[in-house]
Amino acid sequence: MRIDVFTIFPELLEGFSSVALLGRARRDGVLDLRIHDLRDATTDARRSVDDAPFGGGAGMVLTPGPLFQAVETTDPPRPLYLLGPRGRRFDQSVAEELAGLAAGASGGFSLLCGRYEGVDERVSDHLVDGELSIGDYVLAGGEAAAMVVIEAVSRLLPGVMGNEASAQDESFTSGLLEYPHYTRPADFRGWEVPEVLRNGDHARIERWRRLKALQRTIDERPDLIVARGGISDEEQRLLDAEDPDRSS
């Protein structure tokens, strides 16, 4: 998959993407991440990318010139998304949608990191294909958001996760939070790993994990239960069998 990122802080993204899962994916050639410095597309000696807002007010606005220049000379994979707090909310289903673009005509997508108080509106109107937000809070710029998007998408690409099954088996894929995980020692300071996980009965283990994922999601993220369309009859039976008091 190819992902192009346009930013005035390329070193932030280079650092983040050169180690761990992303570093390996880049070295293995699964992820073709191209980071473009917007200042390389400036024409003045000071390499300026921002200016004061028309109409007055606090802060600086990214000027359209270098942004259009950088994107037009690169011709990056589309869609191209501007990162900013007013964008479409990025979640696991958007991550899956973006990962699917690896197999599409452009082979990927691109990200443009906003900065300062904002980006000249003509960039939204005439350069990008859409906008993405990672949540309802305001960051100083789109770089941290770009890292979130790139990591969430990349780990869905075939060959990126060490254990292919784990991306599949996960919480948000089936609309539930993850079941609890344990490793050695079986007894840590008197806190024991549940007996069911230690007896090798795989059908029982699976039932237990499903039950824990359900209970955890009902208790901590009831909104996710609503979003997935409620609880199936089979799941309700599982909950009732475990603890009749919990059923309602």
Return residues touching ligand ADE (CB under 6 A): 83-85, 114, 133-135, 137-139, 141-142, 145
Q: What is the nearest approach in angstroms of ligand ADE to the Cβ of residue 139?
A: 4
Q: What is the nearest approach in angstroms of ligand ADE to the Cβ of residue 110?
A: 15
Q: What is the nearest approach in angstroms of ligand ADE to the Cβ of residue 227?
A: 20
83 versus 213: smaller Cβ distance to ligand ADE: 83
137 versus 191: smaller Cβ distance to ligand ADE: 137
6 versus 179: smaller Cβ distance to ligand ADE: 6
- Please spell the DSSP secondary structure of the chain, one letter per residue: -EEEEEES-HHHHHHHHTSHHHHHHHHHTS-EEEEEEGGGG--STT---EEPPTT--SS-EE-HHHHHHHHHHH---S-EEEEEEEEEEP-HHHHHHHHHGGGSSSSEEEEEE-BTTEE-HHHHHHT-SEEEESSSS--SBSHHHHHHHHHHHHTTSTTTSSSHHHHHT-HHHHTSPPPP---S-SEETTEEPPGGGGS--HHHHHHHHHHHHHHHHHHH-HHHHHHTTS--HHHHHHHHHH-GGG--
70 versus 112: smaller Cβ distance to ligand ADE: 112
Structure tokens at 183: 């490793």
Amino acid 180 reads P
Q: What is the nearest approach in angstroms of ligand ADE to the Cβ of residue 145?
A: 3
95 versus 176: smaller Cβ distance to ligand ADE: 95
27 versus 89: smaller Cβ distance to ligand ADE: 89
Residue nearest to ligand ADE (CB): 145
Angle between helices 202-220 and 233-242 (to 10 degrees): 100
Q: Which residues on neighbouring strands pair with residue 119, listed in sequence order?
A: 62
Q: What is the nearest approach in angstroms of ligand ADE to the Cβ of residue 83?
A: 4
Q: What is the nearest approach in angstroms of ligand ADE to the Cβ of residue 80?
A: 14
Q: What is the nearest approach in angstroms of ligand ADE to the Cβ of residue 113?
A: 8
9 versus 208: smaller Cβ distance to ligand ADE: 9
